[in-house]
A and B are shown apart, each in its own frame.
Chain A
Amino acid sequence: MHIKYSFHTALAGITTHKSRSTLTVLGIVIGITAIIIVMSLGQGAQDLILNQVQGMGSRTVVVIPGREPKGPADSAQIFSDSLKERDLALLRNKINVPTASKVMPILFGGETGSYGGETFRLTIFGASEDIPEFFDLAPEQGIFFTAEDIRSRADVVVIGDRIREELFGSADALGQRIRVKDRNFRVIGILPKKGQVSFFNFDETAIIPYTTAQQYIFSIKYFHRFFIEADSEATIKRTVEDATQTLRNAHSITNPDKDDFFIQTQADLASRLGVITDVLTLFLVAVAAISLVVGGIGIMNIMLVSVTERTREIGLRKALGATDRDILIQFLLEAMMLTGIGGCIGIILGVSIAFGASLVLTRVIGFGWQFSFPLNATLIALGVSTGIGLVFGIYPAQQAAKKSPIEALRYE
C-alpha cells in the first residue's frame, strides 16, 4: 500500500475514536508539557544567572587568594592572606600587566552599622574609586569617594538602598553619619535599589575606601580579592597570564601546583554556573521522562485493546488483500501519529505555560527574566514522542499483523 494511504487509514483509525484517542495521548501530552516547561525555565534561569555574571563586566578577571578548589567538595582556604599591598602595586604596573586597564583591591565582611537607635547587619565592602565602573554602579543621590579619599583613609560611605531604608526610614540619609566599629562614616552617596548583582547584594552593602576598611574595620594587611579589568575582550587571556606570572614572581613560586592564588574569568564562572543549571535541568527532565514511559505503556495498552476490538477489521482488510506488512504499518503509524499529536499538543501547552511563567516572573516578582523559546526541547520532544509511539506501538502492531484472516473474520 502506498504510504500516503497508510497515513490516511491510520488517521481515520484515530479520528473514529476521538475520545479514546484523546485519553490515550494524555500521558504523552503531560510528559512532553513537563519537559518543555522544565527546559524552557531552565534555559531562562541560566540566562538570568549569566546576565547577573555579565553584570560584573565580561572583561573583569578576579584574583582569589588560596588554592583553586578542585571540585565541589574541596574546601580551599578561601580567606588566605596571600594578596598583599605589594602585589597590588605590581599588578598596577604596566610593565608587568600591560593589558590591565584597572586593578581594584576588595575587602568584604559583615559588620553592624547603626544610626540613632537603629542597627542593621550590613556588608562592608572596601574598594577603590574604580568600583562604579567595575559593577556599573551610579549613586542615586550624592557621589562616590575619590582617589584622594583612598589616600587619606577617609571615613566616607556609599550605602545601598536597603541600608538607607533600615537605618534612616524616610529621613534624609545624605550627610548623616553611620557608626561601624566605633567609627563614624559620613554618607556621601546612596545607591538606587539594584538587587543582586553577581554575588553581591549592593542594597545591603556599605562601600568604603579599601584603605579605611583595611586599617579600621578589618585590621588586616591583605586583600580578599583583586579585580582586574582587561582593556579588551581579546586581551583577557593575556591579562590572566601576565597577572599569574607577576604574582608567581612576587611570591617566588616556581611550581604552578604550589600557587597561593587563582584567577577566575567571567567565562570560567559562567561555564561553571552553566554546568550547575544544566545538571539541574537534566535531572528534572529525567523525572519528567518517567511520565513519558508511563504514557508509552498507556499507549501500548490501548493499542492492544484496539487490536482485539478491531480483529474483524483486520481480518477483512487481509481478506481484501492487505499484507501483514500493510497491517503492521497501519497500526504502527496509528500509534506514532497518536504520540506525535500528543507531543505537538504538549509542546504548545508547555511553551504557553513557560511563557506565562516568564510573564509572572518579570511582571509580578520583578526578575529580569527572559522567555526563551526552547527550540531544542521542541525538536527533541517531537522526536521522543513519535519514538515512543514506535517503541510502544510495535508490539501491538505485530499482534495485529499476525492475526490470521479467518480467525479475525470469525471473531464476534
Chain B
Amino acid sequence: MELIRTENVTKIYEDGAEGTPAIRGVSFSIRKGEFIAIMGPSGSGKSTLLHVLGFLDRQTSGKYWFHGKSFDEHSGAEIARVRNEKMGFVFQAFNLLPRASVLENVKLPLLYSSVPDSQWEEQARKSVDSVGLSHRMNHEAYRLSGGEKQRVAIARALVNNPEVIFADEPTGNLDSKSGAVVMDILQKLNETDKHTVILITHETYTAEHAERIIRIHDGEIASDAPVDGRHRIRGTLFK
C-alpha cells in the first residue's frame, strides 16, 4: 500500500529576489513498511525534503500526498494531529527537554494526543523498554550519553505508534558504536514492528542499512534503487 507519493515537488526559499530552490521536481512513492534512506551531501536538499514529507513545511509547487491527503486538505490543527499520531521524528540534535526525565520526554507526544491519560504511563514505559533504557527511566535527559539520548528520542517517536518514522541524521552526532545501536533499533522497528522508516543521511554506510536508497543531488533525484548487500546489525542491544 502506498503511504507517500510526491509529484514534481519543488521547494524554493524566499531569501532573495530569485529565491533559492532547495529541491526541484522530486517525484517518488514509498510503500507502507519500507525502510528508505534519502541520501545526499550536505546542502543537497534532503533535510528540506524531510520537512516537506513530515508536514513541517509546505512545498512551493508540485503535489505531495500522505495517506492520500495533501497538506492543503488539512486544517492547521489537523496537520498537528497527523504529525502527532501518524509520524514520529528523530533529529540529529536529539531535541530532548534537558531538565525533564526520560519518561517525561517520551510522554511528550501523548500530551498532545487523544490517548486518555490513564494509558500514558504504560505506553511510555513500553516505549522506553523497547529501546533498552528501562534502567534510565527517571534520569534527567541532560545526564545521558549521546547514544542514550538518541534512543530516548526514538522511544519518543515510537510512543504514539506512528506509521512512519522520520530519522534526520540520527547517527550524525554519535560514535560508531552508539550509531550501530541506533541503526539496529531502526531495523528492528522496521522488520519486527512493521514501521515505515525514512532515514536521512549523508553517509553511504549508514544509508546501506535501508532496503532502498534515494540519492539527492542539488535538489534533484540522482538515483532511486534497492540496496544490494544491505548491512544488518543484530543483537547490539538485547543479547
Contacts and interface: CB of A to CB of B under 8 A. Distances in A.
Partners in one complex: yes
Interface of A: 1-2, 5, 9, 12, 16, 312-313, 315-326, 404-406, 409
Contacts of A1: 111-112
A324 B99 CA distance: 23
B117 interface: yes
Interface in B139-173: 156, 160
A1 B156 CA distance: 17
A312 B95 contact: yes
A2 B118 CA distance: 13
Contact of B83 (A9, A321, A326, A409): A321
B91 interface: yes
- Most chain A C-beta atoms within 10 Å of own C-beta, residue among B83, B109, B111, B156: B111
A353 B131 CA distance: 56
Contacts of B99: 12, 16
Contacts of B16: none
A9 B100 contact: no
Contact of A409 (B84, B85, B95): B95
8 contacts: A5-B117, A9-B111, A12-B100, A316-B95, A317-B112, A318-B83, A321-B113, A404-B57
A323 B95 contact: no
Contact of B84 (A2, A315, A321, A406): A321
Interface of B: 51, 54, 56-57, 76-77, 80-81, 83-85, 89, 91, 95, 97, 99-100, 108-109, 111-113, 117, 156, 160
Contacts of A405: 56-57
B80 A322 contact: yes
- Most chain B C-beta atoms within 10 Å of own C-beta, residue among A9, A319, A324, A325: A319
A206 B182 CA distance: 100
Given A16-B99, A405-B56, A323 B111 contact: no
Contact of A320 (B57, B100, B156): B156
A198 to B, nearest CB: 64
Given A12-B100, A406-B51, A321 B109 contact: yes
Contacts of A320: 83-84, 89, 108-109, 112, 156
Contact of B80 (A12, A315, A323, A406): A323
B83 A319 contact: yes
A325 B78 CA distance: 12
B97 A313 contact: yes
Question: Lowest 5 CB-CB distances: which A-B pairs, in order?
Answer: A321-B84, A321-B112, A323-B80, A320-B109, A316-B95
Contacts, number: 62
Contacts of B76: 323-324
A5 B111 contact: yes
Contact of A323 (B51, B77, B91): B77
A325 B76 CA distance: 10
A317 B108 CA distance: 8
B51 A321 contact: no
Contacts of B81: 321
A409 B112 contact: no
Contacts of B156: 320
Contacts of A315: 95
Contacts of A12: 99-100
Nearest to B112: A321
A139 B148 CA distance: 90
A409 B117 CA distance: 27
A400 to B, nearest CB: 15
Nearest to B168: A409
B82 to A, nearest CB: 8
Given A316-B95, A406-B56, A406-B57, A321 B117 contact: no
Given A2-B117, A409-B91, 20 more contacts: A12-B99, A16-B99, A312-B95, A313-B97, A316-B97, A319-B83, A320-B108, A320-B156, A321-B81, A321-B112, A321-B160, A322-B112, A323-B76, A323-B77, A323-B80, A325-B77, A404-B56, A404-B57, A405-B57, A406-B57
A409 B96 CA distance: 12
Contacts of A5: 111, 117
A318 B112 CA distance: 9
Contacts of A321: 80-81, 83-85, 109, 112-113, 160
B56 A323 contact: no
A316 B51 CA distance: 13
Contacts of A325: 77
Contacts of B95: 312, 315-316, 409
Nearest to A9: B111
A403 to B, nearest CB: 12
B23 to A, nearest CB: 14
Nearest to A320: B109
A16 B117 CA distance: 24
Contacts of A317: 108, 112
A316 B84 CA distance: 11
A324 B75 CA distance: 12
Contacts of B89: 319-320
A317 B117 CA distance: 18
A173 to B, nearest CB: 78
A316 B89 CA distance: 9
A344 to B, nearest CB: 24
A317 B107 CA distance: 12
